[in-house]
Amino acid sequence: MVVQTKKQVQQDNELLAQKIHQNLIDNNIKSFDIVGAIGAGKTAILEKIAEKLAQKYKILVICGDITTRVDANRIEQYNAETIQINTGRECALNAYHIHQIIKNKDLEKYDVVFIENVGNLICPSEFILGTDKRIVIVSITEGEWVIEKHPMLFKMSDIAVINKIDLLERLGTNLGKMTNDAKKINPNIDVITTSAKTGDNIEKLIELMGL
Ligand SMILES: Nc1nc2c(ncn2[C@@H]2O[C@H](COP(=O)(O)OP(=O)(O)OP(=O)(O)O)[C@@H](O)[C@H]2O)c(=O)[nH]1
Ligand SMILES: [Mg+2]
């Protein structure tokens, strides 16, 4: 019997993620994984992105959730191909989940791959997935302390999205603190505020992604 330590599992995950990334690069695919708290607006933002980009690019979206096909069905309405992974009791996707999907796909068909991770700000920090960029999404409804209290994903992300700014006046959340916290944790991170409801700054986010 072989008992793997957590560190070994993460190392194996990293190797597989590197293989996935090379495979995506070899097929000229731009790839992004989206992490963030439950209900922060990951799917809503992907819906908006798919709505704007599905004419221009052939998009594949892989959605991770404990159960259901709700998110994949939502995004599919905007002409992106979707695959839903149900993780059961696992609180994050890992490279093995992505490998299972990618290995059976004709990757030449796609231009962009998005992966929406299971909603939470903790577990996804343990596993990289082999994408070009990681995007972390929080919203102002989670309170201005959410970034300060969950620094891990901000350390390892390229773009931080603060969503639901259409609700700012009503909630009075300290947006400046949230932006400063993200920059303090990771000076290289791009911070952008959005509203998936009104579409505010979605174009700018797409630009930041280089799409
Ligand atoms: N007012 C407002 N509501 C939003 C915005 N973005 C998302 N919502 C709403 O917030 C709720 C959760 O949005 P989702 O897109 O499902 O969030 P999620 O991060 O994908 O959630 P999980 O996949 O369950 O982790 C939905 O009712 C959305 O309509 C926004 O910018 N403004
Ligand atoms: Mg979702």
Q: What are phi and psi of 51, to 5 degrees?
A: -55, -40
| Beta carbon of 43 within 6 Å of any ligand 1 atom | yes
Pocket test for ligand 1, best of 33, 35, 38, 43 (most atoms within 8 A of CB): 43
What does residue 134 show for φ and ψ, rounded to 5 degrees?
-110, 135
pLDDT (tens digit per residue) in 46-55: 999 999 999 9
Q: Which domains does the chain have, with CATH numbers?
A: 6-208 (3.40.50.300)
pLDDT > 90: what percent of the chain? Answer: 95
Largest CA distance in the chain: 58
**Each residue of 69-120: pLDDT tens digit?**
999 999 999 999 999 999 999 999 999 999 999 999 999 999 999 999 999 9
CA-only gyration radius of the chain, Å: 17
**Is any ligand 1 atom within 6 A of the Cβ of residue 64?**
no
Say if residue 2's pLDDT is above 80.
Answer: no
Residue 1: pLDDT above 90?
Answer: no
Burial class of 135 by CB neighbour count within 10 A (0 to 12, 13 to 18, 19+): buried
Antiparallel, parallel or unpaired: β 133-139 and 159-163:
parallel
| Per-residue model confidence (pLDDT) at position 5 | 84
For 57, half-sphere exposure in the C-beta direction (CA atoms, 13 angstrom radius) is: 21
Tokens standing for residue 153: 């994903």
pLDDT of residue 83: 97
The model's confidence at residue 4, banded by pLDDT at 50, 70 and 90, is: confident
Going from the C-alpha of 202 to that of each of 76, 108, 125, 164, the distances in angstroms are 18, 27, 25, 12
Nearest ligand to the CA of 72 is 2
Q: Is the pLDDT of residue 6 over 90?
A: no
- The ligand that comes nearest to the alpha carbon of residue 71 is 2
Confidence of residue 180 (pLDDT cuts 50, 70, 90): very high
* pLDDT on residue 110: 98
Task: Please give all residues whose CB falls under 5 A of ion ligand 2, grouped by chain where several chains appear.
Answer: 42-43, 71
Which atom of ligand 1 is closest in space to residue 195's alpha carbon? 31
Share of the chain above pLDDT 70, in %: 99
Q: Ligand 1 within 6 A of 196 CB?
A: yes
Per-residue pLDDT band for 7 (boundaries 50, 70, 90) equals: confident
